Structure 1
Amino acid sequence: MRIPSKAPTSAAQPSIPSRRKNRWLPTITAAISAAALTLGLSACGSNGATSEARSNDDSISFMLDWTPNTNHVGIYVAQELGYFKDAGVSVKILPTAQAGTETSVENGVANVGFSKLSNLAAFNAKGSDLKLVFNLGQHSIARWCSLASRTDIKTPKDFDGKTFVSFGSAEQTAVVKTMIRNAGGQGDFKRATSGTNTFATLTSGKGDFAGFYVTWEGVQSELKGPKLNCFTQSDWGVPGNPDQTGFAVKSSWIKDEAHRKALSKFVQASKRGYDWALAHPDKAADILVKQTPTAHIDPQQARTSMKDIVREGYWTSRPGQTSLSGAINIDDAQTYLDFQYQAHSYQDGKGQPLKQAPQAKDLWTDEYVK
């Protein structure tokens, strides 16, 4: 899964390490996968992206950030069970565009896109006008991993001098450097760009470690291999939650009253879909598979992912809950943005460092989840 950090230009494991045990890691390398699969995914709940987003009062165009996966399950549940129809809104699901979700929303190709708060911070620093209106991720699902067969890598310190499979974004660099240094290393590493499969890049020997999402690639590793040895960034000195992911819109788009009404219907129906998914994880996984036939999702992977999400409480305040708030944690968000600012990860449109950290409160509104 893409650890969305596309800068404005993200043998089976015996068990999935829990959030509390903190042993897994995230993938920023999937944007290439997303681009490669865009054409194949055009039938996944949509007829493909159009050059201009629909703007009827009762319609919303929604763009995925990557291939369909359990992060998007609430959208597909709402579509399948008629929640959007009940709310009086027509939803068109668009496959991710090569330009990226954020650029597509900024340019009006889609009304709403799946993104994350730290991405919005980077894009807005360069002049974009994006805002998060619904948040799914209450806890980090990002993990930083090497193959378990690499017995020379026991802590992030051992990433020193190794090759990181990534897109080389400033955000990723800051995270990995901090982890290495807090583990006793220098924070120096090389970079390689992933192909369409990060696992293959690692097994080929072209890279030594990469980012993954525990709820998707972690499950894939558990079920099909290869086994991974992963580290959670919060265990190694990176503060806050980097994975506050959800729905992004262009701020100027919601100045229109008709757009606000349509967005409110969409968000509330989507939340209803996510809540249903938490209460019925197996059935929700099956709906995801059914609704996205060209994505060829492994039903077992989808079911296992949903069960892990519920058990670990990745979308809720505590494990086992079957209703999510849809809101961000401002403190966790600002702490992470401050960390990235201090690491000089954000630049303005002229390539100059920002004079102050992006503010979570300016990147988010709770108007649509109340």
Structure 2
Amino acid sequence: MKKWSVLLASVLLMAACTNEETGSGSGKGEAQEQEGLKKVTMVLDWTPNTNHTGLYVAQKNGYFEEQGLDVDIVMPGEAGANQLVASNQAEFGIGAQESLTEARVQGIPIVSIAAVIQHNTSGFASPAEKGIESPKDYEGKAYGGWGAPVEKAVLSSIMEPEKADVEQVEILSIGNTDFFTAVQRDIDFAWIYYGWTGIEAELRGEELNMQYLTDYSEKLDYYTPILISNEEMIKNDPETVAAFTKAASQGYQFAIEQPEQAADILIEAVPDLDAELVKASQQWLSPKYQDDASRWGEQKPEVWLDYATWMLDNGLLEKELEVDQAYTNEFLPEEENN
């Protein structure tokens, strides 16, 4: 919980500095309007990848412009998307249900406005030669992560039903070390998103064993990633939030229907990306954006409640989450995507 206490303090400090330096919470000043478009900032959660394709499509195809917006898509830097959005340094961002849940309980006023992907596509992966075929096999192995308490809790929750002991797992922090380097040098398995790292393994010809979280617990089928904004933005400028969400929805719908063209748009926008990986990842991920939901972006209260309950039961939250304040479907286009 300490990290979120520090986060809350930094958010308040950043907001104060912004107001002092610019006279506004957005930091845009007179540059807010450009050529009749309202300039807003969209901050990513990580380096650009196929989780973000719909945003780049919306930018390239003019969907944002049609909604009266000039959207600047930026990298998060050290502050992170949650902090930047909460402190009005950015109007929108990419987040995840797990971090937003923690933030809300700590009083940080960010809100999920759309689910980018309907179901959790993450899980624990290992090279096939290491023989890790189920959570039971984690015993005696080294796991590489980023040092968050949630990692041990997730490991424990999927190991316990198999009568396996999480204390028999060596948990190491590997920071930003590449998965493929780490499993050859330091660890046996790690937590990955299959849609990127798993697809990269396929392209490398490296067979992985994968335990998806959703195969072991319904409560771990949470939304990741999500689009986020903050309470002040939603209250004071709902028109812009609705406009942004509509354009993003159009972008992701394009990526659902035309994954090849969507991949080309992402590659054009971020030429440093591996084009082969982007195209293969997009083909795998595009059907999963909307999946079984009635429309792209839809969020269900039970998904938020189930995961928050799981976090509370595992000592990861100090109190219950007020679910209705954590997310909203209000700004999604009313018509179902078909």
Task: Determine if the TM-score, normalized by the shorter chain, exceeds 0.5.
Answer: yes
Secondary structure class of the residue paired with 1:144:
strand
- Structure-to-structure mapping, 1:107-146, within 5 angstroms: 107-146=87-126
The CA deviation string for residues 59-93 of structure 1, in whole angstroms up to 9 with x for no partner, is 21000001101111011011111111111111011
Q: Is it true that 1:54 corresponds to 2:28 in the alignment?
A: yes
CA–CA distance in structure 2, aligned partners of residues 211 and 180 of structure 1? 14
CA–CA distance in structure 2, aligned partners of residues 87 and 156 of structure 1? 47
Secondary structure class of the residue paired with 1:128:
coil
CA–CA distance in structure 2, aligned partners of residues 127 and 333 of structure 1? 17
CA–CA distance in structure 2, aligned partners of residues 324 and 174 of structure 1? 32
Q: Is it true that 1:368 corresponds to 2:337 in the alignment?
A: no
Q: Is it true that 1:91 corresponds to 2:67 in the alignment?
A: no
The answer to whether the 8 A contact 2:144-2:188 is kept is yes
Q: Which residue of 1 aligns with 2:128?
A: 148
CA–CA distance in structure 1, aligned partners of residues 205 and 88 of structure 2? 40
1:235 deviation in Å? Answer: 2.3
The CA deviation string for residues 32-74 of structure 1, in whole angstroms up to 9 with x for no partner, is xxxxxxxxxxxxxxxxxxx964373722100000110111101
CA–CA distance in structure 2, aligned partners of residues 161 and 343 of structure 1? 23
TM-score (norm 1): 0.77
2:145 paired residue among 155, 158, 166: 166
In structure 2, the CA distance between the partners of 1:175 and 1:329, relative to structure 1 (3 Å rule), is same
CA–CA distance in structure 2, aligned partners of residues 239 and 199 of structure 1? 29
Q: Is it true that 1:271 corresponds to 2:249 in the alignment?
A: yes
Q: Which residue of 1 aligns with 2:289?
A: 315
CA–CA distance in structure 2, aligned partners of residues 65 and 117 of structure 1? 13
Q: Which residue of 1 aligns with 2:231?
A: 251
CA–CA distance in structure 2, aligned partners of residues 236 and 326 of structure 1? 24
1:95 deviation in Å? Answer: 0.9
Aligned residue type for 1:76: Y
CA–CA distance in structure 2, aligned partners of residues 361 and 324 of structure 1? 20
The 10-residue stretch of structure 1 (83-92 or 155-164) with the greater mean CA deviation from structure 2 = 155-164
The CA deviation string for residues 189-226 of structure 1, in whole angstroms up to 9 with x for no partner, is 2222224312211111x112111101111111110254
The answer to whether the 8 A contact 1:135-1:326 is kept is yes
Q: Is it true that 1:358 corresponds to 2:321 in the alignment?
A: yes
Secondary structure class of the residue paired with 1:336:
helix
In structure 2, the CA distance between the partners of 1:169 and 1:238, relative to structure 1 (3 Å rule), is farther
CA–CA distance in structure 2, aligned partners of residues 280 and 7 of structure 1? 40
Q: Unaligned 5+ residue runs, structure 1? A: 1-5, 10-50, 347-352
The CA deviation string for residues 225-281 of structure 1, in whole angstroms up to 9 with x for no partner, is 54321101232245242234221112123221xx32122111101110110111110
Q: Which residue of 2 aligns with 1:216?
A: 196
In structure 2, the CA distance between the partners of 1:332 and 1:170, relative to structure 1 (3 Å rule), is same
CA–CA distance in structure 1, aligned partners of residues 71 and 114 of structure 2? 16
1:290 paired residue among 258, 265, 268: 268
Q: Which residue of 1 aligns with 2:10?
A: none
CA–CA distance in structure 1, aligned partners of residues 280 and 28 of structure 2? 35
Q: Which residue of 2 aligns with 1:306?
A: 282
Aligned residue type for 2:302: D
How many aligned positions are there?
A: 305
Q: Which residue of 2 aligns with 1:281?
A: 259
Aligned residue type for 2:229: V
1:360 deviation in Å? Answer: 2.9
The CA deviation string for residues 279-301 of structure 1, in whole angstroms up to 9 with x for no partner, is 110000010000112xx212221
Aligned residue type for 1:339: W
The answer to whether the 8 A contact 1:179-1:238 is kept is no
Aligned residue type for 1:314: K
Q: Is it true that 1:343 corresponds to 2:314 in the alignment?
A: yes
Secondary structure class of the residue paired with 2:290:
coil
Higher helix share: 2
Q: Which residue of 1 aligns with 2:178?
A: 197
Secondary structure class of the residue paired with 1:62:
strand
Larger Rg: 2
Aligned residue type for 2:178: N
The answer to whether the 8 A contact 2:152-2:166 is kept is no
Q: Is it true that 1:183 corresponds to 2:162 in the alignment?
A: yes
CA–CA distance in structure 2, aligned partners of residues 225 and 88 of structure 1? 45
Secondary structure class of the residue paired with 2:195:
coil
Q: Which residue of 2 aligns with 1:69?
A: 49
The answer to whether the 8 A contact 2:124-2:190 is kept is yes
For the aligned residues, what is the CA RMSD?
A: 2.2
